[in-house]
Amino acid sequence: MLASAATQLLEHYDAHARVLPWRSPPGMPPPEHYRVWLSEVMLQQTTVATVKPRFRRFIERWPTVEALAEAPEEAVLQEWAGLGYYARARNLIACARVVAARGGFPTSEAELRKLPGLGAYTAAAVAAIAFGEQVAVVDTNVERVIARLYGIDRPVAEARPEIRQLAEAMTPADRPGDFAQAMMDLGATVCRPKKPACLACPLSNDCAAFASGDPERFPAPKAKKARPHRHGIAWWTTRDGAVWLVRRPAKGLLGGMAGLPGDDWHHDGVPTRTFATVSHGFTHFTLDLHLVERPEPAGDGWWQPLDLIGEAGLPTLYARAVEAALSRKHELAD
C-alpha cells in the first residue's frame, strides 16, 4: 500500500496543490532555499491565511537571507508583531546571521538541525522541499492523516514513534518535497480534524478510519489540561497625544517586543484603579491584563504617538490593550 498511496497522493497533489507564495508548482524545481525556510518558520503555530500577506511583506523588505541577517533586530521584531510565538522571530534573526556567515544553508536534515530555531519538523521540511532529501516531514496534519490511514486510535503523543515510522516508509525517493507538501495539503483541506471530506480523498479506499464509518474518532483526542490563570498590570501613561512604551526583556514571553510597562504578570487579582482589562491566552496560561493609569513614565522607553500606534510593532496582547484603553477613555469622555 505504501508505494501506491504515495503515487495516488502525488497525482492528487498535481491536480489540486494549493497555490502559495513560497511554493513552486508541482513537479517544478524547488523554490529558493530562503523562501522555504522563512515560510516554514512563519507557519509554525500560525495559519496559512495569516502567513501569506506577512510572508510577502518580509520578502519585499528582506529579499535574501543576507539582507535579513543585516537587519536591525528591532525592525524584524516590529515586522513580526501579530504573528505570535515571538521566540521564532529572535531565532529567525540568529539563524539568518549564521547562514549568511557560512555562505548558505546546509543541505541535509542533520546539518539543518544545528541551526538556531530549527527543530525536527522544520529541518525535515527544508531538507525535503528545498533540497530534495528523502526525509519524512511530519506535522500535526500529517500525524492525523497517518493515524487515520492506518487506524491508529491512540492519542498522537502515545503513537508518535509509530506514526513517524509509517511516514518514513511512505516517503518516496522521487519528489520527496512535493510528497511532503501533498501530505500537508491533504491534512489541511481534506483530512480535516472535523468533517473530513473523505469522498474527495485519494487514499480513502485504503483508509482504515474511513472504513470504520467514524473517521473523526482517529486519532484519539489527548486529555486537556486546565491552564493556570494569571493577572498582570500594564501602566497607561499618556502625554500630548502619545503613550509611553517600553521594550520587553530579550528573554521570556514576548521577548524583545514593544509593549506597555507593567509588572511580571503574577498579580494576585484585579488591582484597584483598573480602568480597562483585556484577556489573552498563552500556550501554558491565560492572562487578564489590567490597565492602570500612571502619571509619570516607568522604565526606559519612548513616547509613541497614538495616531501612529500601528507602527510600534505591538504584539496582539498590547495592541488589544491600547485599543481597550482608548475605547474606555472615549466612553468616559462621553
Q: 279-322 pLDDT, tens per residue? A: 999 988 999 999 999 999 999 999 999 999 999 999 999 999 99
- With a cut of 90, say whether residue 66 has pLDDT above it: yes
- With a cut of 70, say whether residue 77 has pLDDT above it: yes
- With a cut of 80, say whether residue 332 has pLDDT above it: no
What is the reported pLDDT for 182?
Answer: 97
- With a cut of 90, say whether residue 246 has pLDDT above it: yes
Q: Are residues 206 and 318 in the same domain?
A: no
Alpha-helix runs per DSSP H in the chain: 2-16, 33-43, 48-61, 65-70, 73-80, 87-102, 109-112, 120-131, 140-149, 156-170, 176-185, 208-212, 316-333
**Residue 224, domain member (yes or no):** no
**Residue 132, domain member (yes or no):** yes
Q: Are residues 252 and 287 in the same domain?
A: yes
**Residue 192, domain member (yes or no):** yes
**Residue 96, domain member (yes or no):** yes
Average pLDDT over residues 262-272: 85
Q: Are residues 19 and 166 in the same domain?
A: yes
Residue type at 151 in one-letter notation: G
Tell me, yes or no, if 111 is annotated catalytic: no
Share the mean pLDDT of the chain. 94
What is the reported pLDDT for 149?
Answer: 97
Cell numbers linked to 60: 519585499
Q: Are residues 258 and 181 in the same domain?
A: no
Average pLDDT over residues 155-177: 96
Helix (H) or strand (E) holding 245: strand 242-247
Average pLDDT over residues 6-12: 95
Domain CATH number, residue 233: 3.90.79.10
Q: Are residues 256 and 204 in the same domain?
A: no
| Count of structural domains, the chain | 2
Distance CA(30)–CA(126), nearest Å, equals: 10
Distance CA(194)–CA(333), nearest Å, equals: 46
> Could you tell me the pLDDT band of residue 334, with boundaries at 50, 70 and 90?
low
Average pLDDT over residues 52-56: 97
Q: Are residues 275 and 297 in the same domain?
A: yes
**Residue 316, domain member (yes or no):** yes
Distance CA(309)–CA(241), nearest Å, equals: 11
> Could you tell me the pLDDT band of residue 2, with boundaries at 50, 70 and 90?
low
What is the reported pLDDT for 271?
Answer: 84
Q: Are residues 77 and 163 in the same domain?
A: yes
Nearest alpha-carbon partner for 332 in 304, 302, 291, 297: 291
**Residue 281, domain member (yes or no):** yes
Q: Are residues 147 and 265 in the same domain?
A: no
What is the reported pLDDT for 267?
Answer: 78
Distance CA(19)–CA(58), nearest Å, equals: 18
Cell numbers linked to 82: 501579530
Average pLDDT over residues 62-76: 96
* Least confident segment among 122-126, 195-199, 260-264: 260-264
* DSSP assignment of 164-184: HHHHHHH--SSSHHHHHHHHH
Q: Which domain holds residue 262?
A: 229-333
> Could you tell me the pLDDT band of residue 1, with boundaries at 50, 70 and 90?
low
- With a cut of 80, say whether residue 99 has pLDDT above it: yes
**3-state SS class at 281:** strand
**3-state SS class at 60:** helix
- With a cut of 70, say whether residue 224 has pLDDT above it: yes
**φ, ψ at 238 (rounded to 5°):** -125, 155
Indicate which residue of 11, 40, 111, 296 is catalytic: 40
Average pLDDT over residues 169-173: 95
- With a cut of 90, say whether residue 226 has pLDDT above it: no
Average pLDDT over residues 62-71: 98
> Could you tell me the pLDDT band of residue 329, with boundaries at 50, 70 and 90?
confident
Instruction: Give the torsion through C-alpha atoms of 318, 320, 322, 323, to 10 deg.
Output: 170
Average pLDDT over residues 115-137: 97
Q: Are residues 154 and 89 in the same domain?
A: yes
Q: Are residues 50 and 170 in the same domain?
A: yes
327 versus 272: the higher-pLDDT residue is: 327
Q: Are residues 141 and 35 in the same domain?
A: yes
- Report in angstroms the alpha-carbon separations of 256 from 17, 66, 74, 90, 166: 37, 22, 8, 8, 40
- Strand-pair partners of 146: none
* Percentage of residues of the chain with pLDDT beyond 90: 87
Contact call for residues 65 and 99 (beta carbons, < 8 A) = yes
Domain CATH number, residue 26: 1.10.340.30
**Residue 74, domain member (yes or no):** yes
| HSE value, Cβ hemisphere, 13 Å, CA-based, for 152 | 23
Q: CA triplet 328, 333, 334: central angle to 5 degrees?
A: 100
**φ, ψ at 155 (rounded to 5°):** -60, 145
